[in-house]
Chains A and B, each alone.
Chain A
Amino acid sequence: MADVRLPGTLTPLFSGLTRRTDVDARTVREAIERLNEQWPGLRDRLCEPGPQLRRNIHVYVDRERAALDTPLESGSRVDVIAAISGG
C-alpha cells in the first residue's frame, strides 16, 4: 500500500475523498487509476489527455519529483501537490 496525500483543493470535489488515503498500486499512474475507480472523474482533475500530469500538479514519491510511470513500493509516500500558481 502506498500512502497517498492529496491536495486540499481536490477533496471538496469528490464525496468521501480524504486528503490521505492508502492505495494498492505499482506506479503513480496506477494509483491515480485506482482512485479514479472509486471517485470517477478524479483522474481528469490531475491529468490531461495522454494521460500526462496537469501542468500545475506535481507528484513526489518519497520526497523525489515523480512522473506517472514512477514505481511505487509498499509504504511509499506519494505527495500530490497543487503547485503554487495563480492569485
Chain B
Amino acid sequence: MPRTLLLIGTRKGCFLLESDADRRDWALRGPFCEGWPVYHAVHDPSSGAIYAAAASEWHGSAVWRSPDLGETWSLSSEGLAYDADSGRKLSKVSTLAVKNGRVLVGVEAPGIFESHDQGETWSLLSTLAGQPGSEMWDDPANQPPGHLGISALMFDDEEPSRFWAIVQGVGLFETPDDAESWTPRNKGLRADWPRPHEEVGFCVHKLVRSPVDGDRMYQQNHVGMHRTDDAAHTWVEITEGLPTEFGFAGATHPHDRDTFYVIPLDPGHGRTMPDGHAAVWRTRDAGESWQRLDRGLPQRDAYVGVLREGMAVDPYDDPGLYFGTSTGQLFASTDEGESWNQIADYLPAISSVEVAVIE
C-alpha cells in the first residue's frame, strides 16, 4: 500500500506526518533540521530525497537533505552565497523546486541557485539581472518589510529548462531556456498602487498550475484571485464571490482543471481568517462561483493564518487536501474539502506543507 507523507516546514524545524492511502491515521516524526526555521520542504521523486530550505538566525542559510525519508539528515550551503564584492547578501533561502534530480532554491536577495549533485554543492543560476524592476530589488535601500526574494519556483512538467519564478512584490517571470532569458508574465493583473514599469510591480503571492492542463494556472495575488488559460500570458480576475481579495495559499485539483481551492485572509496586518471563522473556499467552474467549506474547521475565535506554501493536495483518485496554520494546526480533507479533520496540533508555526505519495 502506498505511503502518504506530509512534509511540514515550521518555524522550529521540519516534521513528517505519515499515513497510508486511507489517510485516516497519521503518525508524526520530528522535529528535524535541529529546529532551524524551515521555509519549504519538498520530496524529490527521482531520488527519494527530502530537501528543506532553512535559515538559522545564528548559522545562516542552508539546504538540509534526507536521503531516507527523514531517518538521517545533513546540510550544505557550499556555493550558496553571493560573492562578497557583489554587494548582495543572501539572508534567507525561501523556496525549493526539484526536477529530474536537479534542485533549485530561491533566495533573498532575489536569486536562484541550483544543485546537480543532490544538494552537496550549489551555484548561482540567475539573479534575473536586467529585468524591469531589478534596479529596485538590487538596491538594499529599497527593501520593504518582509524584504524581496524569490518566493516561489515552478518547473514545467514537460520541458525541464522552462520554469517560472515569483519575485516577491514585483511579479511573475518565465524562462524558457534555463534562465538565459526571462519574460514578465503579469499582463491583466491588478495593482492598487503606482508602478514605475508597465510589466512589473505586482504582488504575486501564490502560483499553481493544473496537472491536467498546463495552460490553466491560478494565482492568489495581494489584490485578488486570478486565472490564466494561456500559461500566464494573460490573466483575468476571479475574485468576485470570495470574502476577501487577499490570501496566500492555493491548490489545484489534481484531476479537474476547473477546481481550485484558496484560503482568503483579512488583508490588514493580522492576515488571519476573517471574523475568526476558519474556511477554505472552492471553485468548480474556474472562478465563476465559489463555495465556502468549513465543516470540521473551527468557527469561533480561530484567528489563524496560512502562508503561501501552507496548502497542498495529493494525487489520489479521491484527492486529499491539507493546510497548516500559523498556530501549528494541520487540517485534512479527503472529500474534496466538504469536511475537515485536524490531524496535528501544537506544532510550531507552519510555513509550508507538501505531500508525497510513495509507492
The A/B interface has a contact count, at CB < 8 Å, of 46
A51 to B58, CA, bound (A): 15
Q: Is B82 an interface residue (CB 8 A)?
A: yes
B59 and A49: CB pair below 8 A?
Answer: no
Q: Is the beta-carbon distance between A48 and B59 smaller than 8 angstroms?
A: no
CA separation between A44 and B77, bound complex, in Å?
Answer: 7
Contacts A12-B34, A48-B81, A49-B81 given; indicate if A54 touches B60 (C-beta within 8 A). yes
Contact A85 B57, beta carbon cutoff 8 Å: yes
Most buried by A among B59, B76, B83, B89: B59
B58→A54 contact, CB < 8 A: yes
A9 touches which one: B59, B62, B77 (CB < 8 A)?
A: B59
Query: Does A10 lie within 8 Å of B83, measured CB to CB?
Result: no
Q: Which of A40, A44, A50, A85 contacts B60 (CB 8 A)?
A: A44
- When C-beta atoms are compared, the residue in chain B nearest to A10 turns out to be B59
Query: Within the assembled complex, what's the spacing in Å between the Cα atoms of A48 and B82?
Result: 10
Smallest distance from the beta carbon of A57 to chain B beta carbons, Å?
Answer: 6
Distance A46 CA – B58 CA, assembled complex (angstroms): 8
A10 to B34, CA, bound (A): 10
Please name the residue on chain A nearest to B86 by beta carbon.
A49
Q: Which residues on B sit within 8 Å (CB–CB) of A44?
A: 60, 62, 77-78, 81
Secondary structure at chain B's binding surface: helix, strand, loop or mixed?
Answer: loop
The smallest beta-carbon distance between B143 and chain A, in angstroms, is 16
- The number of chain B residues with a CB under 8 A from chain A is 16
Shortest Cβ gap from A70 to chain B (Å): 20
Q: Are B89 and A48 in contact (CB under 8 A)?
A: yes
CB within 8 A of B57: which of A10, A12, A45, A86? A86
Residues of chain A with a CB closer than 8 A to B59's CB? 9-10, 13, 45-46, 54, 57, 82
> Separation in Å of the A38 CB from the closest CB of chain B?
16
> Interface SS of chain A: helix, strand, loop or mixed?
loop
A60-83 near B? 1/0 per residue, CB < 8 Å: 000000000000000000000011
Most chain A beta-carbon contacts within 10 A, residue among B60, B76, B81: B60
A13 to chain B, nearest CB (A): 6
B34 close to A56 (CB less than 8 A): no
Task: Please name the residue on chain A nearest to B35 by beta carbon.
Answer: A9
B75 close to A (CB within 8 Å)? yes
Whether a CB of chain A sits under 8 angstroms from the CB of B27 is no
A41 touching B58 by the CB < 8 A rule?
Answer: no
**1/0 contact trace for B29-67 toward A, CB 8 Å?**
000001000000000000000000000111110100000
Beta-carbon contacts under 8 Å, B68-86 to A: 75-78, 81-84
Nearest residue (CB) in B for A42 is B59
Chain A residue at minimal CB-CB distance from B80: A44
> How far does the alpha carbon of A56 sit from the alpha carbon of B60 in the complex, in Å?
9
Chain A residues, Cβ within 8 Å of B76: 41
Question: Cβ of B75 and Cβ of A83 under 8 Å apart?
Answer: no
- Chain B residues near A40 (CB, 8 Å)? 78
A49 to chain B, nearest CB (A): 4
In the assembled complex, the CB of A69 is this many whole angstroms from the nearest CB of chain B, namely 16
* 7 sample A-B contacts, Cβ–Cβ < 8 Å, listed by A number: A13-B34, A13-B59, A45-B59, A48-B60, A49-B81, A49-B84, A82-B59
Given contacts A9-B58, A41-B78, A45-B60, 7 further A-B contacts (CB under 8 A): A9-B56, A41-B77, A44-B77, A46-B59, A48-B81, A54-B58, A56-B58
| 9 cross-chain pairs, A with B, having the tightest CB-CB distances, nearest first | A49-B84, A45-B59, A82-B58, A86-B57, A50-B84, A56-B58, A49-B81, A44-B77, A12-B34
